[in-house]
Amino acid sequence: MEKIKPCPFCGGEAEVIYLEKLHSFRPHCKKIGCILWYPIWDIETKEEAIGEWNIRAI
């Protein structure tokens, strides 16, 4: 699995969480106050969520 890149805004650690209600994975920054949600819907796998984040984290 691809490794998730740091947050593009604060350089902090990022992670992928699973939103049960939406049945979807979301990548976001772990730092409080820097919650960055990308408006991506229907991410069905953790790998895909990491990929989407990494594209934008450059």
Would you tell me which residues interact with Zn ion (CB under 5 A)? 7, 9-10, 12, 29, 31, 34
Q: Look at residue 52 and give its three-state secondary structure.
A: helix
CB of 32 to Zn ion, least distance (A): 10
Q: How far from 10 is each of 14, 21, 23, 31, 45, CA to CA, in Å?
A: 10, 28, 28, 8, 25
Give the containing element (helix H, strand E) for 56: helix 46-56
Closer Cβ to Zn ion, 21 or 58, answer by number:
58
Which one, 3 or 21, has the nearer CB to Zn ion? 3
Q: Which is nearer to Zn ion, 10 or 40 (CB)?
A: 10
